[in-house]
Structure 1
Amino acid sequence: MKLCEHCKVEVEEDSRSCPLCGNPIPPWTEEDRVTPEQLQRKAREAERSIRRWLLEAFSLMAVTGILVVLAADMASGMSISWAHYPVVFIAFTWVSVIMGALLSRRTWVYLPAQTAAVCLFLYLLDRFTPGPAWFLPLALPVTLLTGTVLALALVTARKLKLSAIGSVIASMTTGGVLAVGLELLINRHFHRSWHISWSAVVFGCLVLVVPLLLYFRRWLRVRRNEIRKLLHI
C-alpha cells in the first residue's frame, strides 16, 4: 500500500500517476510493500483503537447518566430516593459491556465474572427495595443455577466438539433442566414446597424433539452427497 505524496490517496502498485490529482508516482521500493503479517497487525491495532474509543465513549455516557439522575433526584426532593434504581442499572450495564469487550474470548473468566456482576446487581436492588428480602432465598440460587447450567453446557459442547444439530440438542436439554430448576426454586420460595408442573411439560416436549433431531442428523449424513449435488455445493 502506498499513498500519493500530494493528496494522500491510496494508489495501486502499478500506478504511474495518482488517480485523483494526476501527479506522478515514484517507483515502488521494498519499504512501500506491506506484508500480510503487517496488514493483520495493523487491523488488530485498528480494532483495539476502535474498541478503546467506544468503551471510553460509553463510559462517559454512563457517568453522565448517573450524574444527571442523581442531580434530578436531589433537585426534586433534596435527597437520594428513586435514583438508586437507575444508578444501579447503569452501573451494571457498564460493567457488563466492559467485561464483554475485555473478556469475550476468555469464556472461563467471563462467565464467573458476569455471574458475580448479576448477583451484585440483584443484591443492590434487594437492599433498595422495601419489603421482605428476596436476594438470598430466591435471586442468588436462581443466578447460581443459571450460571452453573450454562457453564456445564459450554463444557459439554467444547469437550464433545458437537456439530450444529448436536449443539441444538445440548441447548434444548440445558433449557429443559434450567426450567425444572427454576420452577423448583420459585415454588420453594413462594409455596414452601418442592414440586414441578409447567417445567415438566417443557422438559418433556424438549425431550420428545431430541429423537427427531437425531434422526434428521442421520438422514443428512446418509444423503449428504445428494444434497450437495442438489444445492451445487
Structure 2
Amino acid sequence: MLCVELNGNVLVLRLNVPNTLNALTLEMLESLITSCQDAESDPAVGAVVLAGAGRAFCSGWNRRIVPDSPAETLAIDARGGAAVDTLMGLSKPVVAALHGAVVGGGVMLAAACDLRLAADDTYFWLPEVALGTPVLWRGLKPLAAEIGLPAARHLALTADRKDVQWALRVGLVQERVVEDRPVEDAAVDVAQRLAAFPGHGVSLAKQDLGDMRERIVRGGHGFSAKDVFVSLSAGEFVDDTRGESRD
C-alpha cells in the first residue's frame, strides 16, 4: 500500500497500488500519516519525498470504496484532511515526485508538499464539480494558498485536465523533469540537497511560510465543502447531478 524507503537521509514514501493508479484508501492515508509522524521524530531523516509507483502519482480516492453513510464520508474526509495537515506540518522539507494522473485527493496531497517536480506526462484534475460532489480534505483553501485563487478557481470549476506547462505557470509545479530521467530520482536529489542544510534553518523557514499559508487557509469565511456536504445529505438542497468517476 505505502512503500517506505530510507535513501541516505531522505525518506521516500511511495504510494504503491499501481493497478488502481494508486487510488487512496483509509489504510493508505493512515500509513502516510504515521510515516510522516515517524519521520518528524527521526533524526536520521532530513527530508521526505512523496511519490507514486507505476503509471501515476495518485488517481484520488478509490471510488470502488463507497461510504455507507454521510458519517462515514465525513470520517474519510477527516483522515484525508489529517494527511494534508500532517504533510504541511512537517518541519522537514517534503518534495513531491509527480507523474501521470494527479487527481482529486492526489492534487491535495501534492499541494501539501513544499516543492513539486513533475514529469512531462503529468496532468492535474479535480473532477468533483462534474460529479456533483464537494472538494473535501480541507477543501480548496490549501490549494488556493499555494497557487492563488484564480488558478484554483479555474482548476476546480472547469473540471479540465491541466498539463505540466499550466502547472509551471501557476506555481503548482516548480520543476519539469524530462523523459530520460525518473522523476522520483530527481526529487530525491533535490531532497538530499535540502537535507544537507542546517535543520533548524529549514525548520524556521518552513514555520514562517507555514504560518502565512495557515492564515490564508483559516482566514476564509462562508460555507465549507463539509457544510455543503452535510446539507446535501440532510436533504436541504436538491442535487440532480449524475455521473461516474473518471479517475
Q: TM-score, normalised by structure 2?
A: 0.25
Name the one with the larger helix percent: 1
Name the one with the larger strand percent: 2
Q: Which has the higher contact order (CA 8 A, sep 6+)?
A: 2
